[in-house]
Amino acid sequence: MRNIVLEAVDLVKIYNVNTENAFEALHGIQFRVYDGDFIAIMGPSGSGKSTFINTISTIDRPTHGKVYIHNTDVSTMSEEEIGKFRYENLGFIFQAFNLLDTHTLFENIAMPLSLAHTPVEKIHARVHELAKLMDIEHSLEKFPNECSGGQRQRAAICRALVNAPKLIVADEPTGNLDSKNSAELMKLFRQMNEEMGVTIVMVTHDPLITSYANKLIYIRDGRIETELERGPMTQETFFSAITEINSAESKGLLDA
């Protein structure tokens, strides 16, 4: 039996709660992530994907229900506890990379360790180890605006990995990359997942990106509508199945 890394129980998110503009974006979702999962979350625009990933990853709080990460109830933690918990347990990768332009790649990657007061030699060794793995070791002294989109995204990944989190959360990680760099990034995700044992939950709208994952969660109108495990399927067969689920969705929007 694999360990549960993350569990959401009866997850409800209501924006503008207790006002006349109250809007229920998530309607009581049950969701489990097991150790070693690589999950892609898909769904139409406005279906609640970002709300969902933010709510399960401590970026936002659920209105009702619970979120457990490594058996710790993160839904009731104070802001201070959440900050510490994030540094120690989670890695985030966003579409916009969120690198600081006034800092070199080295300084950006080192930031979570600097904040945790890690000794300088340790920081140096860890940053170089990851930069080598991601093939940006020769660009560490550059500033983000001197680097390509692919290099910046690799730096953002190094930063997400620098404190060796067991769980990576990514929202549209390939959103700003061309198709070649997107495929490269997904190969890296797969490598992290298979060789380093990192559990990954990511949001994407792209069936090709999802085909690198080992499970699809399809969200519609604030509910999980479909779950599909890759299992023994080849990537190509999985890709076809993902495309079919997405196009069935689109067909539902066609005029009768």
Q: Does 118 bind ligand ADP (CB under 6 A)?
A: no
Min dist. Cβ of residue 166 to ligand ADP (A): 25
Min dist. Cβ of residue 213 to ligand ADP (A): 17
Q: Which residue has the tokens 């998530």?
A: 26
Q: Which residue has the tokens 């109250």?
A: 22
- CB of 95 or CB of 118, closer to ligand ADP: 95
Q: Which of 199, 200, 196 is nearest to 129 (CA)?
A: 196
The stretch near ligand ADP (CB under 6 A) out of 40-48, 83-91, 114-122, 148-156 is 40-48
Q: Which of 216, 223, 226, 229 is nearest to 10 (CA)?
A: 223
List the interface residues with ligand ADP, window 44-73 (CB under 6 A). 45-51
As to burial, measured by CB atoms within 10 angstroms (0-12 exposed, 13-18 middle, 19+ buried), residue 64 is: middle
**Dist. CA 195–CA 212, nearest whole Å:** 15
Length of the chain: 256
Min dist. Cβ of residue 70 to ligand ADP (A): 25
Q: Does 15 bind ligand ADP (CB under 6 A)?
A: yes
Can you tell me which of 25, 136, 167, 202 binds ligand ADP, judged by CB under 6 A?
25
- CB of 54 or CB of 118, closer to ligand ADP: 54
Lookup: tokens for 76? 């009731």
Residue ranges in contact with ligand ADP by CB under 6 A: 15-16, 23, 25, 43, 45-51
